[in-house]
A and B are shown apart, each in its own frame.
Chain A
Amino acid sequence: MSYLEYNTAYTPTGFRKLLFLNWPVIFLITAVAGAGFLMLYSVAGGSITPWVEPQVKRFGLGMAMMLVIAMVPIWFWRNMAGVAYGVSLLLLLAVEFFGATGMGAQRWIDLGFMRLQPSELTKITLVMLLAAYYDWLPTKKTSHPLWILIPLLFIALPTLLVLRQPDLGTAILLTLGGGTVMFLAGVHWAYFASVIAAGVGTVWAVFEFRGTEWQLLKDYQYRRIDIFLDPTMDPTDAGYHITQAKIAFGSGGWSGRGFMQGTQSRLNFLPEKHTDFIFTTLAEEFGFIGAAALLLLYALIIVFCVASALSNRDRFSSLLTLGVAMTFFLFFALNMSMVMGLAPVVGVPLPLVSYGGSAMLVLLIAFGFVQSAHVHKPR
């Protein structure tokens, strides 16, 4: 498969490519990241240390990587999809054996200058591989059971490895992200219906086998679910996170308490206030207006990505862009649901806002592919 199969009447070259970038997406990403910097500044009590400075550096690095990736033709990345997937799978295995333990789970490898979380990387390489797979697969074979087993295997391998860490949040994101690409590629809806049925069955099994030898989740995961269902059950320990997050969120009111005036986060009532729960700080300080505005920014990013994907006649580009957009959507939707008490606390960061290197870099790399697809789309 070479670039020759693309019917490209005109492809920009050199620095002219910069003109063809999806600039609205870049502006939106910068705006969201900027909001993130503000919040990190606020939760640090009005200081750029310890969080804003490294976060800005990583954002700069990530943007540079995005632009570099955007300059490289999309068909190169399509050809690299298998390799990328393989590498990320190897890294996941490496974490299994050499990884350091953080927050009760083995998640990252210390590279010296940063801590790499292979599970983050896997979220994007899986989407890439599936997009490449369906690009290669003739459309009429899409719903053939045999050709469905292969992508299922692609999804299952990293998901199982991530679950072993254990990292429920990432496992859910991988499964949903992969499933979305398969759905977009046109796999027959009956498969999805049966998977959903199986999912419901699993949930039933999870609760049914609780406390037996066949228990499917770890005790702490059960506890998280219990507390999600009834946060008042344990207001000082695990339910404390949810209760305090809701108090912080609600106390923002319509217009918030003002920048740096959030008492809940500043006084440490909020758990993980700079990472997974940063949205509560934003909601507390900027109120409903601020929270809704961030949601709007996220929605616009999705809208521009979807528009780019739908206008792209290349199957790989289109699937990849939609897959990235969907993964991005799952990120913030899950995080927000979790913070607002609509979903159990599973440890998903707020994309581009939460403090953390791997997630930020991986997302910007993913948007690099989106940009590359946009720049190199058949015209």
Chain B
Amino acid sequence: MRRGPRDTAESARKISRRALVLGGAQTVLMGTLLWRMQSIQVDQGAEYRFLAEENRVKIRLIPPARGLIFDRAGRVLAENEQNYRIVMVREDAGDIGAVLQELTRLVALAPEDISRAIQEMETRRADTAVTIADRLTWDDIARVAANAPALPGVTAEVGLSRRYPMGADMAHIVGYVGPVSSYDLEQLENPDPLLRIPRFQLGKTGVESKMESQLRGAAGIKRIEINAAGRVMRELGREEGRSGADMQLTVDTKLQNYVQQRLGNDSASAVVIDVETGDVRAIASAPAFDPNMFVRGISVANWDALNERDTPRNQQKRPLAAKAVQGLYPPGSTFKMVTALAALEAGVVDPEETVRCPGHLEVADVKFHCWKRSGHGNINLHESLKQSCDVYYYDIAQRVGIDKISEMAKRLGLGVRHDLPLSAVGRGVAPDKAWKREVRDADWRIGDTVNASIGQGYVLSSPMQLAVMTARLATGRSVEPRLVQSIDGIEQPTGEGEPLGINDNLLRRVRSAMYDVSNHRRGTAFRSRIIADAFRMAGKTGTSQVRRITAEERARGVTRNEDLPWERRDHALFVSFAPYDNPKYAVAVVVEHGGGGSTAAAPIGRDVLLHALYDGLPPLEAYPSSERARVREQRRRMELRDFDAATESDRA
């Protein structure tokens, strides 16, 4: 069909008109687009730029290396060991089952670990690394690495975990770390973000717990760029953290090991302190446990065993308790020095004055007995301490009064909390009238004073406090125990202390009586003496009742400890220091339900002191000849660590 020129021109004009209309619409639309670009990019640009940054930059914490703990000789007590583990990413693994099967062929995996890992992988994001196995050997890791192509999504990682090379020996001092619990987080006002890192470990007991802030260090910060899938693309920057402070303790591991072995499986504790500086050389509590179990996450069976779930109540030995600082016992006769000094200082009794001991004393119509039924006859201060006469103290305590005795006890370090970085350090009780009113809401009775005079009744103290008391008696200074020798190489103040302000003559008399306790044939600890002249020991035995002896029982004759069930036997105590002329160490020993202080506690105290003085096993010549065979036999049974060999191999 042919169109005429007019028709063509007409059509062209129409097209032009319509095209202009459309062009106008297009222009408006493009203007809208341009306006929109401007508003998003220019007006709100900064806002979107911020959102983009927030999208891509994440901050990760770098856990610091925990501070190490050494003993006074530089032996490692707590260290960080490389911990190899295998992690798996579901997304990269593809068929989880097949890969795990392949993995089981290479590494021994527990079925419950596998099912736990599968469950975790299924519930978490596909790109999350889930730990399959922990604490693997280098061989396992090497096998996994060598078979990497057959194990998609599986990688080996290395982290740090705590190890306690001294095991049970240091369990009650160093303590242990464990995973952060929600309870731990609740306890803290403003928890360190580090604690929220999965698998981060926190001190739970002992020095690990009390020195947490120094040991932990500060987290480093890593700024990383992540992509939309949350995968790390690159590191943008990093601020190094600060490793935790290394710590040196005053404890001598060799001595500690010996003491722990010497206590054996008894429910007992012992403390050795340097009388000059207050340095704690050993704090042993038996039985102990292996702290490494807790780092790994303790099994239910082990936990039940440590808590003695299956042990009858009356046979429980409480291995988790650090008895040396937590255990509070009636100090028994070891308290007599306190009563004596209080009375002497008050001037209510002269050292040479004698008191008649008929075997008992009647006070306010109640008969208080001496341990020796036949009595000691006329007895002065020196003899009363040496033979541990009770009636002498019943008498002088009534003269001086409880408040002065309590004050003396506190001056000597009983009934006050010593500042040690250990868990649940016991405060004990040095009772006075106000204390009873406040705590028991009752009036103080004269019978209470009589009981307190020989360290029974309300008086309670820990082995640590008894050791401090002994050190103070030995030096006349208010020695304070010190456990941390240095932090990051900075020496901590020693516990030398101010003079006690007790007349030196009085102290000398008490010390000389203590000397005779273990060196005079009528002394209560004569059998446990030290015969090496340079290291003569002064001490005091204690036997504290855990039951009340009724009048009928007494009429029948006091039952011998050996005939009683274990939990009703007396606690055996012994405090001592040596050398007598130039005191170096003070020791306190408590054997729960051990029977008599002279038979159960004094030999241990003596052995421990000798080990400390000789810095190792003493020659048999230091023991009385009658004891040597027994000591030899005892040593044969002990399994002591060979520290000299260990240091040898360390150097190699």
Residues on A lying within 8 angstroms of B by beta carbon are 1, 5, 136, 138-139, 180, 183-186, 244, 246-254, 263-264, 267-270, 283-284, 287-288, 291-292, 295, 299, 302, 306, 309-310, 313, 315, 318-319, 322, 326, 329, 333, 336-337, 340, 342
Contacts and interface: CB of A to CB of B under 8 A. Distances in A.
Interface in B53-106: 53, 55-56
Given A250-B44, A251-B49, A342-B32, A264 B37 contact: no
Given A247-B55, A263-B225, A306 B19 contact: yes
B15 A184 contact: yes
5 contacts: A180-B22, A183-B22, A253-B42, A315-B8, A329-B29
B254 to A, nearest CB: 58
A270 B10 CA distance: 51
Contact of A250 (B14, B45, B226): B45
B55 A295 contact: no
A333 B30 contact: yes
B301 interface: no
Interface of B: 1-3, 7-12, 14-16, 18-19, 21-23, 26, 29-30, 32-34, 36-38, 40-42, 44-49, 51-53, 55-56, 225-229, 233
Contact of A248 (B44, B52, B53, B233): B52
B45 A252 contact: yes
A357 B33 CA distance: 26
Given A250-B49, A251-B49, A269-B56, 10 more contacts: A138-B7, A139-B10, A184-B18, A246-B40, A253-B49, A267-B233, A268-B228, A310-B16, A318-B15, A340-B36
Contacts of A184: 15, 18-19, 22
Given A186-B18, A253-B49, A333 B29 contact: yes
Contacts of A315: 3, 8, 11-12, 15
B227 A250 contact: no
A342 B35 CA distance: 11
Q: Which of A5, A185, A249, A302 has the most CB of B within 10 A?
A: A249
A268 B229 contact: yes
A138 B1 contact: yes
Nearest to B2: A5
A139 B4 CA distance: 11
A253 B9 CA distance: 49
A244 to B, nearest CB: 8
Contact of B226 (A5, A248, A267, A333): A267
Given A253-B45, A263-B52, A340-B33, A288 B38 contact: yes
Given A186-B15, A329-B26, A291 B52 contact: no
A349 B503 CA distance: 102
Contacts of A253: 41-42, 45-46, 49
Contacts of A337: 33, 36
A288 B38 CA distance: 7
A103 to B, nearest CB: 18
Contact of B48 (A183, A251, A254, A267): A251
B59 to A, nearest CB: 16
B31 to A, nearest CB: 10
A284 B53 CA distance: 13
A269 B45 contact: no
Contact of B40 (A136, A268, A313, A340): A340
Nearest to A253: B45
Given A253-B41, A322-B15, A247 B33 contact: no
A336 B22 CA distance: 19
B125 to A, nearest CB: 12
Contact of B15 (A270, A302, A319, A326): A319
A166 to B, nearest CB: 26
Contacts of A291: 37, 41
Nearest to B14: A186
Contacts of B53: 263
B50 to A, nearest CB: 8
A90 B38 CA distance: 44
Nearest to A184: B18
A138 B41 CA distance: 50
Contacts of A302: 26
B224 to A, nearest CB: 11
Contacts of B3: 5, 315
B19 A309 contact: yes
Contacts of B1: 1, 5, 136, 138
Contact of A283 (B10, B15, B37): B37
Contacts of A270: 228
A340 B37 contact: yes
A139 B9 CA distance: 11
A295 B52 contact: no
B33 to A, nearest CB: 5
Q: Which of B19, B23, B32, B51 has the most CB of A within 10 A?
A: B19
**10 cross-chain pairs, A with B, having the tightest CB-CB distances, nearest first:** A250-B48, A253-B45, A251-B52, A267-B227, A268-B228, A288-B41, A251-B49, A269-B228, A186-B14, A251-B48
B223 to A, nearest CB: 13
A251 B46 CA distance: 7
B173 to A, nearest CB: 51
A110 B229 CA distance: 31
B12 A249 contact: no
Q: Which of B12, B32, B33, B47 has the most CB of A within 10 A?
A: B33
B235 to A, nearest CB: 14
Contacts of A322: 15, 19, 22
B41 A269 contact: no
A306 B37 contact: no
Contacts of A185: 15, 18
Q: Which of B8, B10, B233 has the most CB of A within 10 A?
A: B8
Contacts of B38: 288
A333 B22 CA distance: 14
B35 to A, nearest CB: 10
Nearest to B57: A263
Contacts of B23: 306
Contacts of A284: 52
Contacts of B229: 268
Contacts of B233: 267
A302 B29 CA distance: 13
A326 to B, nearest CB: 7
A253 B51 CA distance: 13
Q: Which of B9, B10, B40, B56 has the most CB of A within 10 A?
A: B40
B30 A249 contact: no
Q: Which of A139, A247, A291, A295 has the most CB of B within 10 A?
A: A247
B42 A288 contact: yes
Contacts of A336: 33
A326 B25 CA distance: 11
Contacts of A244: 55, 228
A136 B26 CA distance: 28
Contact of B52 (A264, A310, A313): A264
